């Protein structure tokens, strides 16, 4: 995999990788950014959520489990000192659908977290990642 990042101005960048889709990245005004896009650390959190969310959806589809709605809420704690890395991340999976089986949902989350999600695998040695789920009726 390869990527290219191009500076627009200050901390404003665009980047693309193998999928050939441009992503805009920016920083806060106090550090010469223009606050016009997501920050790099935000993108990392979004990557984690979308990675594990995609796994869970694919696993449930394979098992013919239909969801009427699905969301993930991620809550990250950040170190107080530089480099201000994530120290803990909690992912709450929120499912909605008819007759959802808790065991199937738990298994899909487990498979994503322990086997399939590469972002989880890359982060878990340096960040404590926890999960929970709920079913909304």
- Domain of residue 3, CATH code: 2.20.25
pTM of the model: 0.94
Instruction: Let me know whether 115 and 71 are in one domain.
Output: yes
- Domain of residue 82, CATH code: 3.30.300.20
Could you say which DSSP state residue 121 is in? H
Q: Quote the number of domains for the chain.
A: 2
Does pLDDT of 137 surpass 90?
no
- Which among 72, 77, 76, 65 is positioned nearest to 51, based on CA atoms? 72
Give residue 31's domain range: 1-38
What percentage of the chain has pLDDT greater than the value 90? 98
**From CA 43, how far away is CA 15, in angstroms rounded?**
12
pLDDT, averaged across the chain:
97
**From CA 31, how far away is CA 14, in angstroms rounded?**
17
């Amino acid at each position: 995999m390869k990527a290219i990042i191009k500076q627009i101005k200050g901390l404003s960048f665009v980047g693309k990788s193998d999928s050939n889709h441009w992503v805009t990245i920016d920083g806060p005004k106090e550090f010469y950014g223009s606050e016009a896009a997501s920050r790099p650390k935000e993108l990392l959190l979004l990557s984690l959520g979308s990675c594990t969310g995609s796994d869970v959806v694919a696993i449930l589809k394979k098992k013919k489990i239909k969801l009427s709605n699905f969301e993930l809420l991620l809550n990250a704690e950040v170190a107080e000192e530089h480099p201000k890395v994530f120290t803990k991340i909690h992912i709450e999976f929120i499912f909605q659908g008819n007759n959802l089986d808790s065991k199937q949902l738990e298994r899909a989350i487990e498979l994503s977290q322990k086997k399939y999600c590469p972002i989880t695998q890359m982060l878990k040695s340096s960040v404590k990642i926890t999960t929970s789920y709920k079913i909304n009726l």
